[in-house]
Amino acid sequence: MLNRFAADYLGTLGSADFTAAPRVSGRLSSYDGLLMEAVGLNLAVGTVCEVGGEGDARIEAEVIGFRNGRTLMMNLGGPAPLLPRAPVRPMGAPGEAEVGAAMLGRVVDGAGKPIDGLGPIRGAARWPLAGKLQSPLDRGRVLAPMDVGVRAINGLLTIGLGQRVGIMAGSGVGKSVLLGMMVRAAQADVIVIGLIGERSREVADFLETKVAGEARARSVVVAVPANHSPVLRIRGALRATAIAEAFRAEGKKVLLIMDSLTRVAHAGREIGLALGEPASARGYPPSAIAMLPNLIERAGADAHGTGSITAIYTVLADGDDGNDPVVDSARSILDGHIVLSRQLAERGVYPAIDIGPSVSRVMNDIVSKPHAKAARVLRRHLATYEENRDLVLMGAYRAGTDAAIDNAIAAHPAVMEYIRQDYDSAVPIDMAVDELVGVFGTDA
């Protein structure tokens, strides 16, 4: 026994690569259920710590800042019966995400832990959570359309490979339903889905109804419901983007879905207010809004390879306010936005896409001239009809008074029929273009 101890343990201590290191530990000085303060530590922002003693009274927390010589941490778990001066020990910096083919078909949480009951993830590669900084010239142009299976989007708001698009609407108008239609029909090598800050029920529903069958095998889901820590919600968004970046680096055509970008901003608001930042734009501290460009700009096409990330973000317009700070900021950064109308939804038009204020900023670069012309004609008819809708419905307009209004009234049934689509159907982009050009391509 003594000889084995000397050979194994003492032999290890005598090896040239052994370096003794102290075990760093601090003490918990305050805790209000979310924000913690610890003394006796000198750790970098982003370090994950274990707080608490033996048994179940232990939780994980992430360092988010410093104040008056104390380390500020945010709770990553649920409530725990912590005591004053509980030990705080660093567990390591969460600087990387598991990526690669080993992630396909898996569901993970904001910390990267699998929650699908399929066991641990083995053989995954690593990628920085914050991404790898790129030059603007490393981003390729958007030159090819992407089929998403939705007729109104394929024909009137054509999305390109490498484009970043926002779906903007109030609550309950059909953002998640539209996402499901796009996920099932999207022509992409890999689908990365970030369900950030949504209801827990929607996670299981999304997996069972929208990512079922063949799409599940080529998808990765990062699920962080609304009852999770704001730090985990932000980390979930970063993790989903990092996974998409790694697949893009392999030359894959990736579809990144994030539902929703607004919940990520809400998490940033919680952290910013907890750190004492002043609330500026409708309760949002500057850091919450400034975080959005850093996240969105990581998507796009690769100028030096064949890979691309086509990103679709849902943006919740609080109170149906199109000038909400998150909506306004996202609209200025994204390459296009699809606006859903509550009025159309109330009329039974699904998907309730409001064509007028919606736009794809790359459409003219990726579609043919007859396609673009037919789309303009449909838009003109719809805009003319909506401007004079009240006159027409009240019977105050006399036919023959204005040719443009007469044409808009005649074309309106065809316009609404083109926008409508059943939830469980998919319309390929070629069919959508043929229908559009066939009906509206002959108009002046």
Amino acid at 290: A
Shared domain check, 387 and 303: no
The number of beta carbons lying within 10 Å of the beta carbon of residue 276 is 10
| Whether residue 33 is found in the same domain as residue 150 | no
Is residue 11 situated within a structural domain? no
pLDDT score recorded for residue 3:
61
Same domain, 361 and 375: no
Q: What is the pLDDT of residue 200?
A: 82
CATH number of the domain bearing residue 411 = 1.20.1270.330
- pLDDT tens by residue, 283-313: 889 888 889 999 999 999 988 888 999 999 9
Q: Is the pTM of this model over 0.75?
A: yes
Q: Which domain holds residue 128?
A: 96-366
- Based on the domain organization, do 137 and 276 belong to the same domain? yes
Same-domain check for residues 404 and 295: no
3 falls within a domain: no
Domain co-membership, 405 together with 355: no
Domain endpoint, select from 56, 75, 90:
90
* Cβ pair 139, 296 in contact under 8 A: no
Q: Is residue 374 part of a domain?
A: yes
Provide the pLDDT for residue 318. 76
Do 320 and 402 lie in one domain? The reply is no
Residue 117: the pLDDT is 87
| pLDDT score, position 2 | 58
| Residues 211 and 329 placed together within one structural domain of the fold | yes
- Does the residue 241 lie in any domain? yes
Q: Does residue 206 sit in the same domain as residue 254?
A: yes
My answer on whether 313 and 350 are in the same domain is yes
Evaluate whether residue 17 is within a structural domain: no
Do 84 and 28 touch, CB atoms closer than 8 A? yes
Residue 132 within any structural domain of the chain: yes
pLDDT number for residue 17: 59
pLDDT score recorded for residue 161: 93
Which of 350, 366, 382 is the last residue in one of the domains? 366
Whether 258 and 240 have beta carbons less than 8 Å apart is answered as yes
Give CA–CA dist 397/381, Å, rounded: 16
Supply the pLDDT for residue 94: 66
Residue 10 lies in a domain: no
Q: Specify whether the CB–CB gap between 406 and 399 falls below 8 A.
A: yes
pLDDT at 6: 55
* Total structural domains within the chain: 3
Residues of the chain with pLDDT below 70 are: 1-22, 53-56, 93-94, 443-444
Q: Are residues 208 and 352 in the same domain?
A: yes
Which pLDDT value is given to residue 280? 80
Question: For the domain that residue 125 is a member of, what is the CATH number?
Answer: 3.40.50.12240
Q: Do 255 and 382 have their domain in common?
A: no
Structural domain includes residue 5: no
Which among 341, 366, 391 is the end of a domain? 366
Predicted pLDDT at 59: 84
pLDDT at residue number 155: 95
